[in-house]
Structure 1
Amino acid sequence: MATRKAAPAAKKPRAAPAPPPRQRLSAAEREQHITREAVRFFADVGFGGDTRELAKRLGVTQSLLYKYFPNKEALINRVFEEVYLGRWNPFWESVIRDRGIPLQERLTRHYVEYAKAALTRDWVRIFMFSGLRGEDINRKYLAILRQRILEPIAVELRHELGLPGVETLPLKSAEIELVWGINARVFYFGQRQWIFDVPVEDSLESLIALTVEHFLAGARAVLPRLLAPAAPA
């Protein structure tokens, strides 16, 4: 009579490997980690978002969050520095003033490079949420934009058209409004994508080039009349 073979003994399941030890961050690394996550958080939910929810996302306690940022306002100021000051590109300013390059090319190159930072998701959404919430981000950034970008463009536009310099005739508010128009037009491409979910279909660079060409054509027609001395009564 054949003997039956004994069933092999069941193998014991292997123990799951222990998770790697959690890396301790330095104070500077922790602050930067909180800042980066705060940028994503406010871009997602706006400035009505609660810091408790942010701490939950970070996997830390709210008290640890307040160790680095004593209040929400301090955290929002840090987000402004990270997104709008930290990503500022000196090339934007230098190319505008380079009179060795035709103005149309200068403006096109400026706005193509500007778009790489200003039309990103966090830049656009944080800017819009800030305006709706009444935060200072908009006012602080637009003051910098006017001084470093818009007014220099207005000065170069006068030079291009052979009009009086600012030392003879100070810039008029209407001139600045004209330049706001081109800046707003370029920023609208980002609004369409990140706010309205309607991205542009054509090449962004070609659209910026057309926008600059259109702006300059209008400025050549309007600006000399705007700066012409008033006729005597």
Structure 2
Amino acid sequence: MDGGAAPRGRRLDAGARREQILEAAVACIAERGFGATTRELAQRAGVTQALLYQYFESKQALAEAVYERIYLGRLDPRWMREIRDRAVPVEKRLEAFYRRYTAAIFTYEWMRIFMWAGLAGEGLNRRYLGTVEARLLRPLAEEIAADGRFGAPELEAMWALHGSLVYIGIRRFIYDLPTPEDPGPAVAAGVRRFLDGLRAEARRARRRELR
């Protein structure tokens, strides 16, 4: 660890200083990826490298804090309750969830850090996708199956839906391609196509059973 000095800012309490460093790390990693050094991260935060290590004992510890902030911190516990609310038709629950989910993740920082984590082999996005599967996709699949009109979707089908909707954000923030200013209608259309496909497959399966 070398102690590359950075300009000193105003005196902050410990919580505010940690927040300052974390916000700077999020911005820096989004731009430069996980190859950014702790010296660069400290300079971005306007603190010395030695001070950065007082709050985060290693670069990995700082990466973990970024993961908590960007990924886990955006998973709203209310989504899980709403997914299971059978007083609401399942198609409305699915659309409402994906409208909220895409609104939460369609940001420069989320998309860029997710890309960089994958390229760097950090394992952070694999952990995140495991959380998405366990806490969101499997419950959604169970609710669709319980409805009775659509059959039981395979997990791979759920991932296909999920990936197709997230790709709107990838096109915008990674490839810098035109995307709808409001992705909500595209999300709604994607959910309808998905459920229509499941419904059609369920009908075909019933006809096969009757033969």
**Normalised by the shorter chain, which TM-score bucket?**
0.7 to 0.9
1:91–1:110 contact (8 Å) kept in structure 2: no
1:98 equivalent in structure 2:
85
Q: Is the 8 A contact 1:161 1:220 kept in 2?
A: no
Measure the CA separation in 2 of the matches of 1:91 and 1:223. Answer: 30
Q: Which has the higher helix share?
A: 2
Which has more radius of gyration? 1
Work out which of the residue numbers 185, 191, 216 in structure 1 matches 2:164: 185
Structure 1 vs Structure 2 CA RMSD: 2.5
1 CA distance for matches of 2:101 and 2:190? 14
Report runs of 4+ in structure 1 exceeding 2 Å deviation.
Answer: 161-164, 221-227
Q: Runs of 5+ in structure 1 lacking a partner?
A: 1-21, 165-170
Q: 1:87 aligns with which of 61, 74, 80?
A: 74
| Distance in 2 separating the partners of 1:69 and 1:158 | 45
- Contact 2:106–2:169 under 8 Å retained in 1: yes
Deviation at 1:56, TM superposition (A): 1.3
Matched, 1:55 2:46: no
Q: How do 1:70-149 residues align onto structure 2 when only pairs under 5 Å count? A: 70-149=57-136
- Seen in structure 2, the aligned counterparts of structure 1 residues 126 and 226 have a Cα distance that, compared at 3 Å, is farther
Q: Is the 8 A contact 1:97 1:152 kept in 2?
A: yes
Match of 1:69 in 2: 56
Cα 1:145–1:120 change in 2 (3 A) is same
Aligned with residue 39 of structure 1, among 26, 31, 42: 26
TM value normalised by structure 2: 0.87
SS at match of 1:86: helix
CA distance in 1, matches of 2:191, 2:70: 25
Instruction: Tell me, in whole angstroms, the C-alpha distance in 2 between the residues paired with 1:74 and 1:163.
Output: 44
Shift of 1:110: 0.5
Letter in 1 for 2:25: A
Number of residue equivalences: 202
Deviation at 1:162, TM superposition (A): 5.4
Distance 1:120 1:226, change over 3 A: farther
Q: Is the 8 A contact 2:149 2:199 kept in 1?
A: no
Aligned identity (percent) is: 42
Structure-2 separation of matches of 1:67 and 1:140: 27
For residues 31-62 of structure 1, the C-alpha deviation after alignment (integer angstroms, 9 at most, x for no partner) is 11111111111111111111111111222211
